[in-house]
Amino acid sequence: MKNVLAIYPGSFDPVTNGHLDLIERGAKIFDRLAVSILRNLDKEPLFSGLLVEYARLREARVILRGIRAVSDYEYELQMAMMNRKLNPHVETVFMMPAVSYSFLSSRLVREIARLGGPITGLVPAVVEERLRDKEL
Ligand code: PNS
């Protein structure tokens, strides 16, 4: 019997309700789902390991990524193809979050929080609290 582990990787800085939506959708499809916080080298220049190497160690068959809009597609396609080249045994699967989260990103949440704007409904309550604490 197949027991498919999917990795849902991202920088999750911070995790948003859009991420949670995708986790719920992914958990319904795959036998197991590992949410993996990884470093995006464009966002922080520090080497910490390849995603596909982590997938190999965990024996994961799938990398799950969310696509909100066409604008995400080019970057995601490039990453998926490179990951396939690095490890042909892992398939990238794209899922779309609810349309109500199609405009939501961690970067915008950070910016709004930094400028004292409302982030209720965009992130889980615990993240909202932590962001508010950070501002003080
Ligand atoms: O949430 P993000 O920032 O869009 O996630 C990007 C992430 C962390 C999944 C990607 O940068 C990544 O896989 N980083 C780990 C290093 C790696 O494997 N890089 C090669 C990608 S082809």
Q: What is the pLDDT of residues 92-115, one digit of tens each?
A: 999 999 999 999 999 999 999 999
Q: Which two tokens stand for residue 130?
A: 């932590």
Residue 80 gets which letter from DSSP? H
Q: Is 114 left (phi over 0), alpha (psi -120 to 50) or beta?
A: alpha
Give distance in angstroms: CA of 1 to centre of ligand 1: 30
Atom of ligand 1 nearest to the CA of 12: 1
At residue 2, the pLDDT reads 82
Model confidence at 7: pLDDT above 70? yes
| Contact indicator for 45, 132 with CB cutoff of 8 Å | no
Residue 15's contacts (CB-CB under 8 Å, 6 or more residues apart) are: 106, 123, 124, 127
| Contact indicator for 69, 102 with CB cutoff of 8 Å | yes
What is this structure's pTM? 0.92
State the CB neighbour count (10 A cutoff) for residue 97. 21
At residue 59, the pLDDT reads 95
84 is catalytic: no
Delineate the domains of the chain, giving CATH numbers in brackets: 5-99 (3.40.50.620)
Atom of ligand 1 nearest to the CA of 42: 11
What is the per-residue pLDDT across 76-85, written as a single tens digit (0 to 9) for each? 999 999 999 9
What is the per-residue pLDDT across 28-70, written as a single tens digit (0 to 9) for each? 999 999 999 987 767 754 446 899 999 999 999 999 999 999 9
Model confidence at 136: pLDDT above 60? no
* Cα 16 from Cα 18, distance rounded (Å): 5
- From the number of C-beta atoms within 10 Å of its C-beta (0-12, 13-18, 19+), residue 91 rates as middle
At residue 135, the pLDDT reads 58
Between 1-5, 32-36, 76-80, 125-129, the lowest mean confidence (pLDDT) is in: 1-5
At residue 42, the pLDDT reads 73
pLDDT band at residue 89 under the 50/70/90 scheme? very high
19 is catalytic: yes
- Backbone torsions φ then ψ of 35, nearest 5 degrees: -85, 120
